[in-house]
Every structure is written in structure tokens, then in C-alpha cells.
A and B are shown apart, each in its own frame.
Chain A
Amino acid sequence: MDNLTMTTPERTVMEDVDQPAEPPPADESAPACTFRVKNLSIWYGEKRAIDNVTLDIVSNAVSAIIGPSGCGKSTFIRALNRMHELVPKTRVEGTVLLHGEDLYSNDVDPAIVRRRVGMVFQKSNPFPTMSIGENVIVGLRLNGVRDRKFLNERLEKSLRMAALWDEVKDDLHKPGTSLSGGQQQRLCIARALAVEPEVLLMDEPCSALDPIATAKIEELIYELKAKYTIVTVTHNMQQAGRISDYTAFFYLGRLIEFGPTTKIFTNPSERQTEDYITGRFG
């Protein structure tokens, strides 16, 4: 619980950032899991958006969440970093364990959860008043990091990991919004990576991008999974097939099927999954 409850001023974020999370206990029969979600239900007021979902998210793999609009995909991934709590009148039942630690325990600080579990959204959202460079390191600055050399190193490292460094290294002072849509999305990924999260959540990260920019993000996702666990929501079946190792199909807030992507897209076990992915739904 130490990482999650870290609020004491004597521990700097740098110390914490540089401490990788404890690896999950080795299990010979199953792949290591970053998240273990058990009997998760989420309500927005009276409406139940997620209905008793149990699911393990495998480490260093890409898990795609698919399903029709309103099925609870976005709510589910937001529940993995408590982002959904920003909506008023939400209620949660069940457990979400991140490397064995309960994210919803009373003594857990949601801000720390969101740093450990980064998020990229459908529409790129660089801070409009900040330069490209400032956009990347803003998370570290907000966490009190002042060391210029460290910030510069992290800036370059994050932009390199987001495959953007070569395109912007001479323009770091220019506004983040001066970049193209695809570059802005990679800037947001760099911003999420700068605080060295353990997990990257992506909510339709390519849906506003052209095919070239989409291909660059997809390639990036493929490279990033060596270091991160990635959970992505997508409406694009072919994209789910291309980039993900595991696929979860949600419908009406319930998890209908979860398994290796090749299995889901060649021989799904559930009729509802088959009808949805083959375009027969409804």
C-alpha cells in the first residue's frame, strides 16, 4: 500500500517514480496480471453502467475493450484509475487490485492512482497555454519536481518514447496546439509517460486521427507494451485485431467475453460476440 498512500512531504515524487512497482507474484500457470478486477459494478446515480465484471488485465500486453456505444467500455477503463469519480453521484462495488493493492481502499489517494495509471483520451488535449516542452513535464512540475537537468532528461525520454522527439526537438518552445492532430495525440502520450506510470489507459486514442497518424499511434502502442501494460477502448474492430493481445467484449455493462484476440476474432465462444464483431448486431 506504500505507493498508493504516499502523501508525506519527505518522499519526493522522483524517488517514487524511480521505484518500479513490485512485480506480481510469479504464477507458473498464468501470465502476470497488472489488474485484477472482481465483481465490479458502477452506478451513475440510479443507472448501473458496469454490471458485476470480473476480469484480469495481463501485464505488458495490450488489452482492447470493444462493444457498442453505451456498453460501459469507457466507464470500465476509467474505473481502472478512478477517473469516473469525476462524474457526480457515482457508486462502486467490487474490487480493483493494481498489483495486489485495492485502488478503492479508503486510504488510497486518487491522485496517486491516476499518476500510476496514466490516461490518453479520444481527442488530444494539450494544455493550450503551454509550449510543447511544458506540456510534457507539467505532471512532474505539479508533483514538485524542480531539478532542471532531470526535467530535461525526462522531457527528451518521454518524447522519444512517444516517437515525437525527432519531429519537435527544435520546436519545444512552440505551443502544443501548433502541432498536427496526430502529433498532439503523441504529445499527450508523452505527457502521460513523463510521470512514468505503470499502466497506460487509452480511450479511443485514434478515432480522431487520419490513417497515417493512426498507424504511428498503433506502432507506438506496440512498442510501449514492452514496458507498460496497456488497456485501450476502440470502436475499430480491425484496430483491436491488429494491436491487442487480449480482447474484452462488453454489452449493456456486462462483460460478455474476454480472451486472446486471435480467439475472439476467429472463433468467439459467445454468440453475442460473434454477432457484434461480424456486424450482425441488432
Chain B
Amino acid sequence: MIAPKHILGTFDEVLASLRNNVLMMAGLTERSLERAMKGLFNRDDNLCANAIADDEEIDQLEIQIDRDGVAILLRFQPVASDLRRVVAAMKLSSNLERMADQATTIARRARKLNQHPPLPEVDLIRPMYEHAMSMLRDSVEAFVREDVDLGRAVVARDETLDELNRSASRKLIERMAQDPDQLRGYLNLIFIGRALERVGDHATNIAEDAVYAAAAEDIRHQTLAASA
């Protein structure tokens, strides 16, 4: 059900502006990660440079969203679903900014790899990228559509990404032992895998915040709570 408009029209305007900035930031983060990974797979330094350049705009949006969020809290003192959306938007921007930092890390590592002959082990990274990217897209989608089920589903998918990362790291470490000449290359791939695993962690955070915004339910750290 679509909420009716606020009596105070400017409140609707600033909430819409905040949301649009979050969506723009999510779009740019997705693009940055995509460029960094294509830079790796296609051995394209220009794409890597573009991914790194995206980061500045994303950082500026993070600052803007925080500033707008604080202004909304100050001016309108939102409550209930409005409050949850503003708080979630501010947390989303922080997670998106860190994802973009991971994209930058990947682009820098990819540029180093591109200076040497290609490593077939890059294929170990591909399924991780697909998984992390789908988590990123779906977590933002869960926030936008206020889809609690999708949010929960994203959280559950993080374990698969962690396992993919562990498996890839194991294989890369084995390759290091077998082929010490390529040690730097394998190490860069391990760092890229680690960055994708972190992207999944941030997507998980976003999905959890999406569930909170939509249903006021805090689903963080449930395994810890259950085992306590």
C-alpha cells in the first residue's frame, strides 16, 4: 500500500530527494564494481581507471546523504516508517561507499595483474563476482521495494559467497606453492576475492537495513543471539 502524502509537502520532497540520492549512489557503486571487474576480465586499464574515478562521486554522495539525513532529523523529527527510512538511507550510503572502496581496490589490483601475462585462475573469481553483484542489486532492490522476503533471502546468500571465497583462496594458495614465479599475481587474485567477499558483507548489511526500514524488524546477528 502506498502511504498517503504528508500534510507538509516539503517533507515529502526532502524524503524523495534523499531516496533518489541513495538510488543514484547505488547505481554508481554497481557501475564502479562492474567496471573494475570487466577491467580485470577484459584486461582493460581504462575501465579500471574509470572505476577508480567513480569513487570520488560516490564519496560526495555519501556526504550529501548524511548531510540531508541530519537536516531531515533536525527539521522534521520523523517518526515511525519515516524515521526508519531516513536512518536506513544513511546506513545504506555508508555501506555503498565501502562497497565502492572495494571496487577501487579491485581496480587497482586488476591494473597490476594486467601488467603481466594472463592467469587462467581469474576464472575462480568469476562466480564470486556474479554472486556478489546479485547480492548488491537485490539488497538495494529490497530497500527500494520494501521487500522483506527479498531482504532476508540476500542475507542467507552471504554464506555461499564466503564459501566461494574460501574455496578460491585455497586453490590460489596451492597454485602459489606450485608456481612461485606467479606469487604476486595469485596474491592479487586472493585480495580481489577478499574484496568481493566484503561486497557481500555490505550487501548483507543493506538487506538487513531494508528489512528494518520496511518492517521495523532487526535481523542482524541472529546466529549470535540464537547461540547465546
Whether, in the assembled complex, B7 has its beta carbon less than 8 Å from a beta carbon of chain A, the answer is yes
Interface residue count for B (Cβ, 8 Å)? 17
Interface segment among B41-49, B76-84, B104-112: the answer is B76-84
Whether, in the assembled complex, A274 has its beta carbon less than 8 Å from a beta carbon of chain B, the answer is yes
Whether, in the assembled complex, B216 has its beta carbon less than 8 Å from a beta carbon of chain A, the answer is yes
Given known A-B contacts A266-B216, A267-B216, A278 and B80 have beta carbons under 8 A apart: yes
Whether, in the assembled complex, A238 has its beta carbon less than 8 Å from a beta carbon of chain B, the answer is yes
Q: Closest approach, in angstroms, between the C-beta of A141 and any C-beta of chain B?
A: 44
Contact B6 A280 (CB under 8 A): yes
The interface centre, meaning the residue of A238, A277, A281, A282 with most chain B CB atoms within 10 A of its CB, is A277
A1 to B70 alpha-carbon distance, docked (Å): 54
Whether, in the assembled complex, B226 has its beta carbon less than 8 Å from a beta carbon of chain A, the answer is no
Contact A280 B79 (CB under 8 A): no
Whether, in the assembled complex, B228 has its beta carbon less than 8 Å from a beta carbon of chain A, the answer is no
Contact A267 B80 (CB under 8 A): yes
Given known A-B contacts A241-B79, A274-B81, A281 and B216 have beta carbons under 8 A apart: no
Whether, in the assembled complex, A220 has its beta carbon less than 8 Å from a beta carbon of chain B, the answer is no
Q: Which secondary structure dominates where chain A touches chain B?
A: helix
Chain B residue nearest to A241 (CB atoms) is B79
Whether, in the assembled complex, B4 has its beta carbon less than 8 Å from a beta carbon of chain A, the answer is yes
Q: List residues of B (66-124) whose CB comes within 8 Å of A's CBs.
A: 77-84
Q: List residues of A (198-234) whose CB comes within 8 Å of B's CBs.
A: none
Contact A279 B83 (CB under 8 A): no
Contact B7 A266 (CB under 8 A): no
Given known A-B contacts A237-B79, A266-B216, A280 and B84 have beta carbons under 8 A apart: no
Contact A279 B8 (CB under 8 A): yes
Could you list 20 A-B pairs, sorted by A, with CB under 8 Å?
A237-B77, A237-B79, A238-B77, A265-B80, A266-B84, A267-B80, A267-B81, A268-B80, A274-B80, A274-B81, A275-B3, A277-B79, A278-B3, A278-B6, A278-B78, A278-B79, A278-B81, A279-B6, A280-B3, A280-B5
